[in-house]
Amino acid sequence: MKLTESDIADNYNDVWVLGEIVEGQVHKVTLELLGIAKELADKHTSKKCKVVCLLMGSKLVGYELELFHKFADRVIIVDDESLKYFNDAIYASVVSRLIKKYKPEILISGATSKGRSLMPLVAVKIETGLTADCTGLDIDKETGLLLQTRPAYGGNIIATIKCENHRPQMSTVRQGVFKSMEADKTRTGELISETVLEEEKNTRFTVLSEEAYSEDSKINLHDANVIVTGGRGVKNPEGFKIIHELAGAVKGAVGATRATIDSGWISYAHQVGQTGLTVQPEVYIACGVSGQIQHLVGMQSSDFIIAINKDPDAPIMQLADVAIVGDLFEVVPVITKLLSNY
């Protein structure tokens, strides 16, 4: 429903983050989003916005402290056995009801599998807009609107999207796009407890269990300090052997371009880029990667980039801090050998 200007000005406040717990820990993307939520709240000078984290699940006692330390002013906890497993129908009903009750100005969530499933459902229920996979969030100084930036048309343009007449303004953001802020362990905040209504539990299906489904869940590019990525220049699946060896020597993880995944040389869990993961390691080593924009958006915020390519004019070579012109099959084993001796 289209809202009036005065309704938005008078009734909608606060920047909400949809929190997630994974394997007993607050998800890293939640902590990253609390940092950007604080920035947005501070910049939204026409309103006194609080940073609010909405956390849903079962047995959630004690998580609020870390969220306060990471700049949540208020934590709303919905702790119920019906939320033990992720049932998007129950979750969406609860989030939608709480949005109607508290009227947040902005709602952001990680573009995790849960966030990607839940946020569109909520946007439809609430009748507002949603910008998925944002790579930048800011507040328009003049209007106070959320500026939601994301690649569009296959990464060929960067679009900035505004949601003028509907609330909340909703975005999803992938892990690694924003850096988590240093915790302030002196901070506390307000804790609110909400419940699940009986009618919200009556969904057409029941989730009986949840489990990680493959070996791929062990590949963790987000936590790696060094990522060694192979592109089409590795030529075939066997070509990834030297990429794995270099990653092993530097205790890093193996990344890949979409071209290699589409060719079936390595699994999707390794993909870096617009339709893969966004990463920010200390060192990113791109081997035989051309550096098309769809790849760059996933790794360009790495602290230090090394590129190895036969073509000195490949776009990745312009971005790299160190660009090595050469055949990766000659260069990579030499680097591996040098580093293995340390």
Ligand X SMILES: Cc1cc2nc3c(=O)[nH]c(=O)nc-3n(C[C@H](O)[C@H](O)[C@H](O)COP(=O)(O)OP(=O)(O)OC[C@H]3O[C@@H](n4cnc5c(N)ncnc54)[C@H](O)[C@@H]3O)c2cc1C
Q: What residues line the site for ligand X (CB under 6 A)?
A: 154-155, 231-233, 257-260, 271-276, 288-290, 292, 294-295, 298, 308-311, 314, 327-329
User: What residue number has its CB nearest to ligand X?
Assistant: 273
Dist CA 168 CA 106 (whole Å) = 5
Dist CA 154 CA 188 (whole Å) = 43
Dist CA 36 CA 209 (whole Å) = 33
In the complex with ligand X, the residue whose CB is nearer, 35 or 288, is: 288
Contact (CB, 8 A) for 242 and 333: yes
In the complex with ligand X, the residue whose CB is nearer, 142 or 330, is: 330
- Spatial neighbors of 29 by CB under 8 A, at least 6 apart, are 20, 110, 111, 112, 173, 174, 175, 176
Please state whether beta strands 104-110 and 283-287 pair in parallel, antiparallel, or not at all (unpaired): unpaired
SS3 319: helix
Residue 153 beta carbon to ligand X: minimum distance, rounded to whole angstroms: 8
Residue 241 beta carbon to ligand X: minimum distance, rounded to whole angstroms: 14
In the complex with ligand X, the residue whose CB is nearer, 104 or 276, is: 276
In the complex with ligand X, the residue whose CB is nearer, 169 or 274, is: 274
Residue 299 beta carbon to ligand X: minimum distance, rounded to whole angstroms: 9
Residue 274 beta carbon to ligand X: minimum distance, rounded to whole angstroms: 4
Residue 103 beta carbon to ligand X: minimum distance, rounded to whole angstroms: 36
In the complex with ligand X, the residue whose CB is nearer, 130 or 316, is: 316
Helices (H), 63-107: 64-69, 88-102
In the complex with ligand X, the residue whose CB is nearer, 168 or 233, is: 233
In the complex with ligand X, the residue whose CB is nearer, 86 or 268, is: 268
Residue 300 beta carbon to ligand X: minimum distance, rounded to whole angstroms: 12
Residue 222 beta carbon to ligand X: minimum distance, rounded to whole angstroms: 15
Which residues in the chain belong to E strands, given as ranges? 13-19, 21-22, 25-26, 51-57, 74-79, 104-110, 130-134, 136-139, 146-152, 157-161, 169-173, 190-194, 226-230, 253-256, 283-287, 304-309, 322-325
Burial 74-90 (b: 16+ CB within 10 A, else e): bbbbbbbebbeebbbbb
* Closest to 16 measured CA to CA, from 128, 141, 160: 128
